[in-house]
Amino acid sequence: MKREEVARRLINVMARELGKKPDQIKNEHHFAHDLEADSLKSIELVAAFEEEFDIEVNEEDALKVQTVGGAVDFFDKLLK
């Protein structure tokens, strides 16, 4: 899967989970500071990403990711 496809699907999931439009979510956005995702919402996001790509991720590694761009990097690497 190409990186662009990974990013598009991730942002769609984020938009759905966070109640935003996809074009409101930028690569540099910080989940906690810019997108107001608290600790439970962060876990729910990772759970939704897992469901989207039908994979299971390492909990500690996934929850260290703090930005949208970081999430794209993380899943792009994982899905290669």
Partner 1 sequence: MSLNPLKDVPEPNLIKDIFPYSLPPIIRFEGKIKEIIDGREVEFDPESVIERDIHITDTTFRDGQQSRPPYSKDQMTRIFEMLSRLGGKKGVIRQTEFFLYTQNDRETVDACRNLGLKYPEVTGWIRANIGDFRLVKEMGLKETGMLTSCSDYHIFYKQKQTRREAMDQYLQVVEAALEEGIRPRCHLEDVTRADLKGFVVPFVQRLEKLTENQPDHLKVKIRLCDTMGFGISFPNTAEPRSIPKLIWRMKEECGITEDRLEWHGHNDFHKVHINGAGAWIFGVNAVNTTLFGFGERTGNPPLEGALVELISLKEDLMGIDLKMVTEIAEYYQKEIGAAIPSNYPFAGRDFNTTRAGIHAGGLRRNEEIYNIFDTAKLLDRPPRVAITDKSGTDGVAMWVNDFLGLEGEKRLTLMKVAKIQRWVMDQYEKEGRLTAISDREIEEQVKLHFPDLYERSKNRRK
6-45 footprint of partner 1 as x/- string (CB under 8 A): ---------------------------------xx--xx-
Q: Distance between CA 3 and CA 33 in Å, rounded?
A: 25
Number of residues that bind partner 1 (CB under 8 A): 12
Shortest distance, CB of residue 46 to partner 1, whole angstroms?
5
| 50 contacts: CB under 8 Å, gap ≥ 6 | 56, 57
Tokens 């190409």 correspond to what residue? 2
Contact in structure between 15 and 25 (CB atoms under 8 Å) = yes
The interface region with partner 1, picked from 1-9, 20-28, 58-66, 67-75 by CB under 8 A, is 58-66
For the annotated catalytic residues, the residue numbers are 38
